[in-house]
Structure 1
Amino acid sequence: MRITLKQLAIFEAVARSGQVAKAAELVNLSSPAASMALSELEKQLDTRLFERIGNRLRLNSQGSLLLPLATEALQKIEQIEHAFSPAGAELGGNLNVSASSTIGNYLLAKSAVAFCQQHTNTLVNVDIDNTQAVINAVLEFRSEMGFIEGQCLDSRIAVEAWHKDKLLVFCHPAHPLAGQSVAPSALHDMPWVMREEGSGTRDYFVNAANALDIQPQEKFRFSTPDAIKQAVKQGAGLGVLSELTLEKELIRKELAVIQVEGLSLERKFYRIHHKSRNFTPIGLEFIKFNKMFLNTDG
């Protein structure tokens, strides 16, 4: 049996993208060449590695078994290449990270661009989704690291405090409670515009609100901060989002903040990675860069 690095690279790219054509682009091969490499790998291993669901390929049990081994092998090769690169050689390669909505849109989008502008031979791919989806991407080795707003209790994942944030309760400027400091009881029976299930913002707020017996009544649910802000502007109810997402609207007085007595909404953002996966040189450099660029804790 002679498994090649090209076959493993194609396999990992297909696992990450779900499509042979997209995987071929990631590894700079034609689609027919990528398809042939994947077929040869399955033939050598005498097993199928993917199941087709619609127009996407999903790892089956055998593919899930192979993925961490393939990723580790490819990382070892990259480490060897890096160790023997000439001193001062330009950093290069691709880095795949996942981030929950607030972090991805308001922090990592700008830091990824700045990083690639400084290291012109690199590409940082930032996949933005909710906290649970980010955890899944790290577990499935599709992302080298993840950045989340909520908790991760999976024992396979290493979790490190990374940054700080604060949630704000907000409303339409004409709302009776706009700009006021109120007791938690004042929010009883108020309609709310909430994030979707699996959102770190939603989980953190609901836990803090229930501790004060606010018991927010969800009237609308959206998966993006922009949709929530738009709904609140239309008078759909109260909202709660990171202060990072509300800066422009508050300056323009398109939205207003409600201070709730005893409701502490300061939280931490976390960086996560799979315990069995080491950081690549580009991953380590990205962590170092963010510490300076975003003033992160780690």
Structure 2
Amino acid sequence: MQNLRLFSDVARCHSISLAAEMHGITQSAASQRINQLEKRLGVTLLDRTVRPLELTEAGKVFLAGVGDVLQRYDRLERAVMARADSPSGVVRVSAIYSSGIDLLRQVSEEFEQQRPQINVQIAYEKPDAVYQSVIEGRADLGLLSYPDRFKKVGVIALRDEEMAVVCPPNHALAGRESVEAQELSGQEMVSFDTDLPVGRGVAQYLKQHGATPITAHSFDNLDTLKSAVAATDRFAILPKRTVRHEVEVGSLSVVSLTPTLVRPMGLITPRPHKQHAALPLATAVFVDFLLQHAGQDEPRVSLSSSESSSPASTLAGAAASAPLVGAKR
């Protein structure tokens, strides 16, 4: 199982040396393990003639299967651990506000009703701070978007959230069922800051589809964005789930985007340097509960840029080959 995890990390990082560091082994030892895998399978998994490393076609097929095997094993491990008598303790969660406030508050309340001996503590932070909190041991679990851009952590795919055009009810786009990305050209918008993964994802999506809206302002806070849209004649591209209340009360309108844009959400967990180890029991039980109750806006797409067979294609983002967004018609 450890060799499969190593291969998965090599594919994710496009680097044997970085994956070796994550696993607490030498680059030579990591290369030897990958060579053993290739010898056993009778195929070449990595194209070592290019930098950064890329997967061969056989490697891509193998990675897709490896991801499924690891997910199933981790799920089985959590299920077995959850059968222990009355796990207790504190689960410290660091989450980005735009997803945590929508998901964690309700789920954690339901979880604590069923597991009163486990206390879930939630802190809302910016993406980089979520990552640092998990890496430095201040949080047992992180919840954020585009989790695969962060290295040296374990990643658990959670759900893909549909992004949509959000505008005031009197906007020219309000009332439409959908809008083509190119139709947004020339219209004023407010957006997430591009130093946030979701901001870069939206910018990349618009660029790829030839859309050139006018960015009037950018913010790093979801509530500020929603307030700016409600108070002006501008639009924003936001996670559809996060404006359900405003749509219900009539303060905002939502229009679907074509091609579809999704924001991948995931959990990040500490990863010991020397070898993979099980999550603490209380954390494992909460993760399993969260996966069961997270919901799903769109069919889940691959979080790895090397897996291109998913129903939604993953676009390369502004940061070093990190997958930023899924788009589909």
TM-score (structure 2 length as normaliser) = 0.58
1:273 aligned residue (269, 274, 285): 269
8 Å contact 1:135–1:152 — kept in the other structure? no
Task: State how 1:217-296 maps to structure 2 within 5 Å.
Answer: 217-235=214-232, 237-262=234-259, 264-276=260-272, 278-295=278-295
Matched residue type, 2:136: E
Aligned position for 1:214: 211
CA distance in 1, matches of 2:84, 2:280: 17
- Residue 167 of structure 1, CA deviation: 0.9
8 Å contact 2:194–2:203 — kept in the other structure? no
Matched residue type, 1:241: L
CA distance in 1, matches of 2:204, 2:232: 25
DSSP-derived class of the 1:261 partner: strand
Go from structure 1 to structure 2 and tell me whether the alpha carbon gap of 1:194 and 1:126 turns closer, same or farther (over 3 Å shift).
same
Aligned position for 2:119: 123
Q: Say what the alpha-carbon RMSD is for the aligned residues.
A: 2.4
DSSP-derived class of the 2:149 partner: coil
Aligned position for 1:159: 155
CA distance in 1, matches of 2:149, 2:227: 33
Aligned position for 1:137: 133
Matched residue type, 2:281: P
Aligned position for 1:49: none
Go from structure 1 to structure 2 and tell me whether the alpha carbon gap of 1:214 and 1:295 turns closer, same or farther (over 3 Å shift).
closer
- Residue 238 of structure 1, CA deviation: 0.9
Structure of higher CA gyration radius: 1
8 Å contact 1:169–1:239 — kept in the other structure? yes
Go from structure 1 to structure 2 and tell me whether the alpha carbon gap of 1:111 and 1:195 turns closer, same or farther (over 3 Å shift).
same
Task: State how 1:74-223 maps to structure 2 within 5 Å.
Answer: 89-180=85-176, 181-223=178-220
Give a deviation string over 1:78-109, Cα, whole Å, max 9, x none.
xxxxx9xxx97432211111112222101111
Matched residue type, 1:204: G
Identity over aligned residues, as a percent? 22
8 Å contact 1:130–1:198 — kept in the other structure? no
More RCO (CA 8 Å, sep 6+): 2
Deviates most, 158-167 or 191-200: 191-200
Go from structure 1 to structure 2 and tell me whether the alpha carbon gap of 1:286 and 1:248 turns closer, same or farther (over 3 Å shift).
same
Give a deviation string over 1:41-88, Cα, whole Å, max 9, x none.
xxxxxxxxxxxxxxxxxxxxxxxxxxxxxxxxxxxxxxxxxx9xxx97
**Can you give the 5+ residue segments of structure 2 that lack an aligned partner in the other structure?**
1-80, 301-329
DSSP-derived class of the 1:268 partner: strand
- Residue 170 of structure 1, CA deviation: 1.3
CA distance in 1, matches of 2:148, 2:195: 11
